[in-house]
Amino acid sequence: MNRIKSDYLVIGSGIAGLSFALKVAEFGTVNIITKSHLDDTNTALAQGGVAAVISAEDDIESHVRDTHVAGAGLCHEDAVNVMVSDASSRIRELLDYGVPFDVTRNGDFDLAREGGHSRFRILHVADETGRSIQEVLIKKVREHPNICIYEDHMAVELISDHHVLNNLQSAFNICFGAYVLDEIKAQVRIFSADYTLLACGGASRVYLHTTNPDVATGDGIAMAYRAGVRIANMEFVQFHPTALYNPGQEPFLISEACRGFGAYLRNGSGERFMEKYDKRLELAPRDIVARAIDAECKSRGEACAYLDMTHLPPQDVLSHFPNIATQCRDQLRIDITSEQIPVVPAAHYICGGIMTNLNGQTSMHNLFAAGETAHTGVHGANRLASNSLLEALVFAHRAARRAIEKKRNIYTNVAIPDWDDTDVTNQQEWRLIRNNRSELQTIMWDYVGIVRSGVHLNRALRRMATLYDEIEDYYKRTRVNKDLLELRNLSAVAYLIVRSALRRSESRGLHNMSDYPEKDDKFLKDTII
C-alpha cells in the first residue's frame, strides 16, 4: 500500500515527536515515521538532564535571566517566559509517564547545576537522562492503539499545494503530508495527513566532528527550506566544549554536568585556565568555554584540554556518571576518578531552525515543528545547558494542543500524484556520495567552525555552490536512497549556515567573527531566510 492516511503525521521519534504523538493520539490517528529505529535520536544521547524550576531555593526569574544571558541578547522574551513557566507541568507529566528522575536520600530531587545556570535546577537520571525519557515514551507510543510506527522510513519532501493535481487556488501554502522512502522496499510512499509535525532533530552531522548520531542530517530543516518555509538563525551552531578526545573514533559527549559537579578544565601543563576567559570559570556558558578550549589549544600547540575530576569523591563520581566512566574506561582505559579526561569541542546543537510561533506553527499552514528542528526563539545566540529537552517538551505540548483545537483540514481529499521516478536510473555512485559528504563536512569544520572570518565564509560558500550543483544534478537523475537524501539535506543545511553567517558581521554568542570581534546592536535581530 503506497498511500497511507492519518489525522496526524509525525516525522521524527525524539522527545518532541513522541510526546506530541501521545497527546494528539487521544483525538485521532497518528503515523510516526523515523528513518532508523525509534531510539536512534539525539534525545537518547542527552546526558545532562532537563532544566526546571522546582526547588524552593530557585525561582522563575532566575531561570529566565540565565537563559537570556546565555543567549546573548537574541532570545525571544515571550518564548523564554512560556518555556520556563510551563516547565514544572511538563516535569509532572514525565513523572506520571514513569520517568525515574534521581532523588536524594530524603526524597527530594537530586538537582544538578550546569554551565550558565545560577541555581541547581537540572533533573537527571544519572548521566543517561535522555535515554531514560526516550525508553518511557517509546513504551507508551507502542502501546497506544491510535499510533502506527514506521521505522526505516525517511521523509523525502513535504507535500504542498505545488503537488496536488487539481491545482486548488484556495489551497495556498498548505502541507498535506510527505513523500516518504520505505528503505526496506526501496519505494516512495505517500503519507497524507491533516496536520504534520517536523521533529527530525538536529543537523550537526554537517560537521566533521560531532557528538550527534548518524541520523542528525538536518532533514526537517532542509525539507522545510525547499518548501519555502521560513528558516532562522542557522549561523548559531553550538559546539559542546567537552567531547572525549579519541582520534579516529566518533566523539563521545562528556556531560556539562561534570563541570557542574565540580570538575576542572586544565591545559597540558596541568593549569586551570578558565580564569583567563570568564569569571564564572568552568561554569561559563558553552560558547565561552568552547572558545576558551579552542584558544588554549591553539596558543599552546596542544591537541586537547583535560577535564579533571580526580579531586572529587570517587564513589560520588561513579554514581553520578556511570556511563561516562564506562566509555572512558572502554575507549581509552582511563579511570576518571584518578586520571584526567582528554577533551575537545565538537559540533553539538543547532540553535536555529524552522521558524515557529509559540504554538509550534510554521509559516506553512498545517505544518508544525518542534525540538531541535524548530526555531522557537528560546535559545537566541547560544543555548543554555539542559534547556533543549525542556524546550522540546513545552513546545511539542503547545503544538499538540493547537493541532487538536484547529478544525480538520478541509482539503483532505486533494489528489496527490504518485512519486514519479520513471526518468531516473538506479546508478549507485557510492564514491561520489561518500566523497562529497566528506568534503562538505571538512569545509564546514575548517571554515565555518568555532571561530570564523569573512574570507573563510566566502571561500566555504563558493565551494558549497559547486558541491550543491553536483549533488542536485545527481539527485535529479538517480533513484532516491537514504544516503543520497542525507547528502542532499546536508548540502542544504550547510548552505543555510554559511549564508546566515555571512549576514551577521559581528561576534555574538556562538557566532564568532575574527574580523568583527564585538557585538553590534544593528544585528540584534534574527537572521531569516
Q: Average pLDDT, whole number, for the chain?
A: 93
pLDDT number for residue 416? 87
Mean pLDDT (whole number) for 51-75: 96
Domains of the chain are: 240-346 (3.90.700.10), 430-523 (1.20.58.100)
State the pLDDT at residue 44: 87
Residue 137 corresponds to which cell in the numbers above?
Answer: 515514551
Phi-psi category of residue 528: left, alpha or beta, with phi > 0 → left and psi -120 to 50 → alpha: beta
CA–CA distances in Å: residue 477 to residues 153, 193, 431, 467, 474: 21, 29, 16, 16, 6
The Cα–Cα gap between 387 and 488 comes to 30
Q: What is the pLDDT of residues 173-191, one digit of tens each?
A: 899 999 999 999 999 999 9
Residue 427 scores a pLDDT above 80: no
pLDDT more than 70, % of the chain: 96
Q: For 285-299, how does the pLDDT look when each residue is reduced to its tens digit (9 = 90+)?
A: 988 999 999 999 999
pLDDT digits (tens, 9 = 90+) for 124-164: 999 899 999 999 999 999 999 999 999 999 999 999 988 77
User: Is the pLDDT assigned to residue 447 strictly greater than 60?
Assistant: yes
Instruction: Give 326's contacts (C-beta < 8 A, 6+ positions apart).
Output: none
Task: Identify the active-site residue in 113, 131, 286, 508.
Answer: 286
- The residue-averaged pLDDT of 413-440 equals 80
The alpha carbon of 440 is separated from its chain's Cα centroid by a whole number of angstroms, namely 19
User: Is 286 considered catalytic here?
Assistant: yes
Cα dihedral sign for 111, 112, 113, 117?
negative
Alpha carbons 40 and 20: distance in angstroms, whole number: 18
Chain segment 454-501, per-residue pLDDT in tens: 999 999 999 999 998 889 888 888 889 999 999 999 999 999 999 999
The CA distance from 511 to 376, in Å, is 18
> Quick one: average pLDDT of 79-107?
96
Q: What is the pLDDT of residue 411?
A: 59
Q: What 3-state DSSP class applies to 199?
A: coil
The model's pTM is 0.93
Residue 417 Cα distances to 3, 160, 245, 366, angstroms: 10, 11, 49, 19
User: For the segment 269-285, what is each residue's pLDDT rounded down to a tens digit?
Assistant: 999 999 999 999 999 99
Mean pLDDT of 79-100: 97
- What's the rounded mean pLDDT across residues 36-52? 91
pLDDT at residue 62 in the model? 97
Asked if residue 428 has pLDDT above 70, the reply is no
| C-alpha cell at position 418 | 504518485
Question: How far is it, in rounded angstroms, from Cα 379 to Cα 323?
Answer: 28
Q: Is residue 172 very low, low, confident or very high in pLDDT (cuts 50, 70, 90)?
A: confident
